[in-house]
Amino acid sequence: MTTYQQVLRLTPAMSFSWRRAQHVIEHNVMNYRRNWFYLVSGFFEPLFYLLGIGLGLGRLVGSLSVDGHPVSYATFVAPGLLAAAAMNGAMWDATFNFFFKLKVEKTFETMLATPLSVLDVACGELGWTLIRGAIYSSGFLVVMSIFGYCQSPLAILCLPAAGLISLAFGACGLAATSFMRSWQDLGTVSLAMLPMFLFSGTFYGLTFYPGWLQAIIRLTPLYQGVALLRDLDVGVLTPVMWVHVGYLCLLTLIGFIVVSHRLVRLLTP
Amino acid sequence: MDVLPDVIVEARGLQKFFGEVEAVRGIDFSIQRGEVFGFLGPNGAGKTSTMRMISCMSPRSAGKLLVRGHDPAESGSEIRRGIGLVPQDDALDSEMSVLDNLHIYGRYFDIPRKEIRARAKVLLEFAQLTDRADSKVDNLSGGMRRRLTIARALISRPELVILDEPTTGLDPQARHLVWERLYQLRREGVTLIITTHYMDEAEQLCDRLVVMDRGLIVGAGTPRSLIEKTVAREVVEVRLDDGNYLSLVDRLGDHIDRAEILGDRLCCYGEDGDQILDLILALGIHPASSLVRRATLEDVFLFLTGRSLVD
């Protein structure tokens, strides 16, 4: 009986069509048409960090080394901020906006009264976090190249890598948000993200930390992303990059599975 | 299960559990194409759970269910393509304009943008919202929002429209406007399923209805047949100063079909209310107040469940 009920529950919810998922993205685009200012404003945050800390503070720091390549401090910081831009873009939609649609506006219930399925909704929302992350990271990458912080033609690979960072954070953010009961709960996500932004190798290397703390920081998705982008930016290809890529792919997969199951539970009781 | 082509929804032994709670406890009904079918009952009777199962938004726990000839457990997406749902809480996109709400909803059904624009124009007129097309939903009144939700449900030209408490929370004027629109849909041959806890709404709108209570169907039929079959055509309500209702019922004997004591008044049911009242007066009893009226679904509900419909 249990399996029969599970099949009943999962089959219709888990049907998927890429075309239908696109309409979920379309919903987000339409929503932002009236609120484009919010979309654009998010781009400036990493830019201000780059100018303030990379350029300003960088004069006091001098040059650093990445994989034996001597680079200016701003060049060191830029890939870290690129990773943070990819993270923040995805997280903003995966947390506050997703919660609003899930709990306040009941957007997804409306969608599920149409041919759309839960899996369409989950894919569409994840797709939109990727798009928003990609808007910020590609904009920031253009700024980096204009300022001369891209050290190698391979830096173009930062774009798909930043996309992967957005996907990993988007999927985990959606999964975490699906467990939140109130706006206050969402505050804990912001609380976790700020130290991650500051201490995951974004502004300085891990050698400052004791060994055990380094090991913990290496487990954060932002560190994995920063390390990946920093190597690509100076044009160094190492096998360890596959570990970063694999780790971010795994997080994306886990986050996506969790959020899909949570949405089935929450939306089709 | 054989389904005639003119049956649009068929349920046999339909059940819904939420953990230990049995929201729907095995109900049978079949809804004909083109009719207005009502689910009448108090809050918590299982109406919304039944609606969610019919609209393929919630899987059934047991029993059989066919909607538009398909099993919701297998082809939910396909079934929903032909259904327009008007949920209780509207669930509109409050940040978007009236027109954008119609537009995005049409996109969920894969309708081309140009076609949506043409349909939206007609629907805005239908909902009397043409001059509010660019207003933000946030700025609409309750009645306007409900009309927009109905218009939104129609953008895919569904053959079945499901309305969960369509006029709850609306003022009388807004209610009549919604009713008018629902009559219009019925004339156009759309099948309507309506849940309500307003007996007048059920009587006005429904061709057939079922009365639900605590997850079960306790009565079924056309509104009039249900009233005449279950109670009687007319009712006399009397208030007595001495409150000695039992002796009055005794003395009326076979002259009334049945009687119910409702708080501080007595309801006597029979074919001719005036005749019953004359009889009471002839017995030398002078009620503090009296009222002769037609029996309503409220009386049916009272009779079937022993409780009043709206608390």
Q: Using CA atoms, how far apart are residues B108 and A24, in angstroms rounded to an integer?
A: 8
What whole-number distance in Å separates Cα of residue B174 and Cα of residue A100? Answer: 29
Tally of CB atoms within 10 A around A38:
11
Q: Which of A109, A112, A268 is closest, CB to CB, to B59?
A: A268
Residue type, A130: L
B84-94 average pLDDT score: 93
* Å between B96 CA and nearest CA of chain A: 7
Assigned token pair, B249: 């019922």
pLDDT-derived band at B3, boundaries 50, 70, 90: very low
A120-134, B165-179, B275-289 — most confident range: A120-134
Average pLDDT score over residue span B124-138? 95
pLDDT at B126 over 60: yes
Which of B75, B91, B95 has the CB atom closest to A110's CB atom?
B91
pLDDT of B227 > 70? The answer is yes
Instruction: For residue A6, give both structure tokens.
Output: 């599970």
pLDDT digits (tens, 9 = 90+) for B170-225: 888 888 988 999 999 999 999 999 998 888 889 889 999 999 999 999 999 999 89
**What are the extents of the domains in chain A?**
18-267
Inter-chain touch A31–B93, beta carbons under 8 Å? yes
**Range with lowest mean pLDDT among A74-88, A133-147, A170-184, B229-243:** B229-243
The per-residue pLDDT of chain A, averaged, comes to 90
Inter-residue contact A45 to A14 (CB < 8 Å): no
pLDDT at A9: 46
Q: HSE-up of A24 (CA within 13 Å, CB side)?
A: 31
pLDDT higher than 90, residue A89? yes
Residue B5: which pLDDT band, with cuts at 50, 70 and 90? low
In what side-by-side order are the strands of the sheet with B62-67?
Answer: B21-32, B7-18, B62-67
To the nearest whole angstrom, how far is the Cα of B226 from the nearest Cα of chain A?
Answer: 32
Residue B4 pLDDT: 47
Determine whether the interchain pair B108/A116 forms a contact, defined as Cβ–Cβ distance below 8 Å: yes
**Residue A1 confidence (pLDDT):** 39
Q: Are strands B191-196 and B160-164 parallel, antiparallel or unpaired?
A: parallel
Residue A6 has pLDDT above 50, yes or no: no
Helices and strands (DSSP H and E) totals, chain B: 11, 13
Closest chain B residue by Cα to residue A266: B58
Chain A nearest C-alpha distance from B238 (Å): 47
Q: Does CATH number 3.40.50.300 belong to domain B7-221?
A: yes
User: Which residues of chain A does B108 touch, with a Cβ-Cβ cutoff of 8 Å?
Assistant: 20, 23, 111, 114-116
Task: Name the strands in the sheet holding B265-270, side by side, starting at the edge strand that comes first in the sequence.
Answer: B258-262, B265-270, B234-239, B289-294
Write out the CATH class of domain B232-294. Answer: alpha beta
Domains in chain B: boundaries? 7-221, 232-294
Residue type present at position A59: R
Closest among A253, A97, A118, A248 to A180, alpha carbons compared: A97
Nearest CA in chain A to B81: A115
Q: Please give the pLDDT value at position A3.
A: 44
- Å from B188 to nearest chain A CA? 22
Q: What is the pLDDT of residues B57-69, one digit of tens each?
A: 999 999 999 999 9
The closest of A74, A249, A69 to A161, measured between CA atoms, is: A249
ipTM of the complex: 0.88
CA dihedral B233, B238, B244, B249 (to 10 degrees): -20
Which among B76, B89, B96 is the nearest to A12, CB-wise? Answer: B76
Residue numbers in A near B60 (CB within 8 A): 8
**Backbone phi, psi, residue B229, to 5°:** -70, -40
